[in-house]
Structure 1
Amino acid sequence: MYAKPKVAQADRLIEVPILGEWISLGDIDDASPEVGGMFVLSAMASKERLGWSAADIVGTARARARMHDGHSTRALTSLQTPTVEQFVADAVGWLLARGLIGPTAEAQYGPHWMLTSDGRAAAELSSATHIEAAMRLHADLHPVLNASARPNFERGDYATAVFSATQQVEIAVREAAGFEKRQLGVPMMRDAFKPGGPLSDADEVVSEQEAVRDLFVGAIGAFKNPTSHRAVEFDSPVEAASIIHLADLLLRIVDRAKARRATEAA
């Protein structure tokens, strides 16, 4: 397994400029790709410049390192430079993977990067949490979620996205079970998936049928009903994305139940 270069204890206080922002070799050594990525993103956002390359970043850091007193300047040694190179590679890789930086037209001397629109938004918020959560929804969702929950989520309206996703589950259950419009919410889930109910699977043991019923009851009771009755704020887009994924799973279970009913009727 690859182990990135480590900084000697005596060198941890040496400071280097990364895009004009000073950071110690110790902090560079300790930084995760996410921490490094956000450091580089913030530094890029604070500079009026079109593009940056790894050679620019590492070369300047190597040549202009300073001791922690801020006065004596020194170049990094061949043993210290790889730590900075790895930091920049990890940071840029993390940013590219999330679409926060992209290539510029100036690439005569290798790739140069600038902030994307998402990158500028993340830099303004000092957070890439929305981008991280949105990546969870990159996979194909159930078609009804692509048309409803996903657009609201992408606008940052997480409460509406969650309500829309769980409402689609409620609609799908009602239609698949052949229930009337007046039937809704938790009672409808219990009726639809109870053992012997229209959407239960008679081939499963009773305890498994009850478990599926409870899954639907819990999802609607915990996530759909609160957003129906009052204003609910989701501080974490990751949590909202997870609930949308749960709705996606439930809709696929409903689709299987609907297909099973059609086969039985035939």
Structure 2
Amino acid sequence: MPRLTPALVRGLDILELFLDARAIDGYSAPEVATVTGLPRATVHELLATLVAKSYLRKEKVSGRFHLGLRVFQLGNAYGERIDLVTSGRLIAEEIAAECNETVNVGMLDGPDVVYMAKVESRQAVRMVSAVGRRLPASCTAVGKALIAFLSEAELEALYPSAAGLPSLTPRSIVDRAELLAQLAEIRRSGLAFEAGESTPDVSCAAAPVRDHRGAVVASVSVSVPDIRWGQRAPGEWADVARRGAQRLSSVLGAR
């Protein structure tokens, strides 16, 4: 491992303090010294440097420090270079290699989930999903992980009370009340499941992907034939999906 520059590491440690939600009121120089454990003289020099380079700004009245314009500019530059499809594909490949099952990345488009990336298991099983294909979100774990985080008004627009739900297999959810109950549990746990609802004899677990604003913008799922689903506890398959979603969320700048 190459040798790190101590002064730069300390400066970055100070900047990372502001990732904490409690930093909304900023930090005073003594607070930075207390939290980081750095000498006060060192802290004052680092803070002055960060302010001079616009990574931090100092309030004139209170003397407290807040993130500066340069951090915002860097964040925007990073965001402009993110390709969700490419990043999703790379992370799907990583997760599929770890679990040797099929991994999907989907995004919501109206009442449908659109598959943006799919990496097949080396263990053959035919599934209805394919890159670019659309399926009813309510019939899939990857879709339910997305619609669970819509507002009540958005859900009502997609699934009017008087209308029925689409069906792909005899196990697809066709009762609106049942769907809403599942979505409430997904919001609570952060995990969605499917048991033969889009492909017979295939079960799935999925987790939402969030961007830098905390908004759900995609989801990651692992799809497993029922003959292998029982080889692990459902929670283990869920952890596979959660790891993929967390990695993609991190790439998108989520905390």
User: What TM-score do you get using the length of structure 2 for normalisation?
Assistant: 0.27
Bigger strand fraction: 2
Bigger helix fraction: 1
User: What TM-score do you get using the length of structure 1 for normalisation?
Assistant: 0.27
